[in-house]
Structure 1
């Protein structure tokens, strides 16, 4: 073992600042050049297995850690990415943010969280990298962007969109198949004999956003089952919060005839609806079934527990970070990619599970 090491580590003052081992320390320990150590760290192919193993042993023995900040600065990058979502107090976005941060950390990146409140100007600021360009790219869940906003954006700034985008092509995109997911949830209710299925948070006309696509899936399932579509059963909401679900469910109970099932287009709406039904002494399941979307943690602990469509949130986070890092680190001009993530209908007590 070379002189100057104590139990496999250099003494303080011999390994760089405050005893931190440097590349040249690893090279000396492994008996190779600093350039060879750099090649191993960058996973270059033209390094022999024996040399690669010697370098890895030296790294482990000395406790060497790559200085990511220095590497990123040399490459003209910050090592930070932005996650821009409408509302962090909506459980789906909070859970997704946790998963994106974990995946980014695994890739040696830091996440800056930006809440847009569904405001177009705030979404545009994120899309443009906040002008100051203090992050390397953005994962954005848009609500208010217009097709033109994406058409004229700076394509040199890496962007990945989540959910439904306002225009086709040109931007990497990660989402579930919302039409198929809503069709599956509606078919489940139809199989239970429900025929007057109301949609809370739905939209019959307008842009192809998540609400419209899920309503389209609902209508497709009705058509396949030979059940007439009634536009009066589609209820729009001001926001996708508990109070909006409670308000819509209470109003639907005052209609004649009442619905016999509620398809709520997120779990916040569904959980609010369950509370309103409880206050109106309407049993679930019983006169009414309730289905939600997103499988947030609270849906497992409500009474009754909530049947819901569960998107693969871990895969959404993994794919979004991977696509963004490909844009940041890869060659410019690559074609845009669409990544469709799987989903699963989780049947719980609110539909007799």
Structure 2
């Protein structure tokens, strides 16, 4: 039979209300009483009925997280941080895959699952401001990522222009002068545009040429896209001495092509990625990368949704999460690497 609050209260010799206060982590319970009740909880194997708890508040206990690429390690790692943060608050996360398609992002944002969720965290790629301006769905929406929206929704992102400039500044500080950018997106893409802007601004600031001949556009952002982009640049006869890639997967694809062409990383070509996914930390030449604070992004996203749900949130705000440059072998070689600085 399921152990109830009444059973725990009887075992501990306290009131049901006291047990409830401990289970709900109310702060006014004394440490001695909390320990006493927790011993009874552990002894009886009590598990709170989270479904009933949420239903009493008129909620489902579910948050939806809509991401563009579940197969991309960055989004997989980000999803894990959101799931962990939600679990700490007794919420379950439903994952949705939009494929980065505008029509699917519109469908998700307009609340086609609003009857079964309490809030939505959406990382859009192609969604436009006008797609959200007339949103009538009451389910709280928190936006992640680099799209800029002039709307009344919380938006959590890192400063992509500044982060890209940090990456290029690192390359320039190492004496690199021909810095390519791979990952310019064919069609609309705010994240790509912002990172390319940072690449260009930092090169100009350093008195170097931001040569369009060293920009490679792609349809996707995977390893094969990075390899194809690197191949196209080399086949023009240009040989940059550094590459800044839109993300780590493209950087890894580019490094493979450089290896096949007999070019050494970083001796001949230094490479910097973006996202700091685990794969880059274990590649044959470990990858220098911009590392967004994924844990903070996930925590802030969940906190923002639940604050809006509870009606005690401030005015919608744009929240900047931290980032740092992690310096590894793809720019420093096999000498000692560093952990970089916070952004």
TM-score, normalised to structure 1, is 0.86
Of 318, 327, 340, which residue of structure 1 is paired with 2:308?
A: 327
SS in 1 for 2:218: coil
Residues 252-261 or 55-64, more deviating: 55-64
Supply the distance in 1 between the matched residues of 2:278 and 2:30 (Cα, whole angstroms): 48
Q: Give the equivalent residue in structure 2 for 1:344.
A: 324
- The alignment covers a number of residue pairs equal to 333
**Structure 2, gaps ≥5 residues long:** 334-343
Alignment of 1:27 with 2:9, yes or no, is yes
Cα distance, 1:232 vs structure 2: 2.6
Of 99, 108, 111, which residue of structure 1 is paired with 2:93?
A: 111
Q: Give the equivalent residue in structure 2 for 1:179.
A: 161
Supply the distance in 1 between the matched residues of 2:187 and 2:228 (Cα, whole angstroms): 23
Q: Give the equivalent residue in structure 2 for 1:262.
A: 243
Residues 55-64 or 271-280, more deviating: 55-64
SS in 1 for 2:181: strand
SS in 1 for 2:184: coil
Cα distance, 1:207 vs structure 2: 6.8
Cα distance, 1:257 vs structure 2: 3.9
Matches within 5 A, 1:1-353: 18=1, 20-44=2-26, 54-131=36-113, 133-154=115-136, 156-202=138-184, 209-328=190-309, 330-331=310-311, 334-353=314-333
Supply the distance in 2 between the matched residues of 1:298 and 1:40 (Cα, whole angstroms): 42
Supply the distance in 2 between the matched residues of 1:288 and 1:51 (Cα, whole angstroms): 63
SS in 2 for 1:283: coil
User: Which digits, 9 at most, give the CA deviation of each residue in 1:284-320, with x for residues without a partner?
Assistant: 1122111111111111222222111111112222221
SS in 2 for 1:89: coil
Supply the distance in 2 between the matched residues of 1:154 and 1:101 (Cα, whole angstroms): 27
Taking a change above 3 Å as real, the CA distance of residues 25 and 308 of structure 1, as seen in their structure-2 partners, is: same
User: Which digits, 9 at most, give the CA deviation of each residue in 1:199-251, with x for residues without a partner?
Assistant: 10136x99782111112221221122111322232222111011111111011
Cα distance, 1:47 vs structure 2: 5.8
Taking a change above 3 Å as real, the CA distance of residues 219 and 206 of structure 1, as seen in their structure-2 partners, is: farther
Supply the distance in 2 between the matched residues of 1:320 and 1:145 (Cα, whole angstroms): 18
Cα distance, 1:65 vs structure 2: 2.5
Is contact 2:179-2:214 (8 Å) kept?
yes
Supply the distance in 2 between the matched residues of 1:238 and 1:105 (Cα, whole angstroms): 36
Is contact 2:307-2:313 (8 Å) kept?
no
**Structure 1, gaps ≥5 residues long:** 1-17
Taking a change above 3 Å as real, the CA distance of residues 285 and 32 of structure 1, as seen in their structure-2 partners, is: closer
Cα distance, 1:332 vs structure 2: 6.5
Is contact 1:96-1:317 (8 Å) kept?
yes
Taking a change above 3 Å as real, the CA distance of residues 71 and 307 of structure 1, as seen in their structure-2 partners, is: same
Cα distance, 1:348 vs structure 2: 1.5
Taking a change above 3 Å as real, the CA distance of residues 286 and 43 of structure 1, as seen in their structure-2 partners, is: closer
Is contact 1:198-1:261 (8 Å) kept?
yes
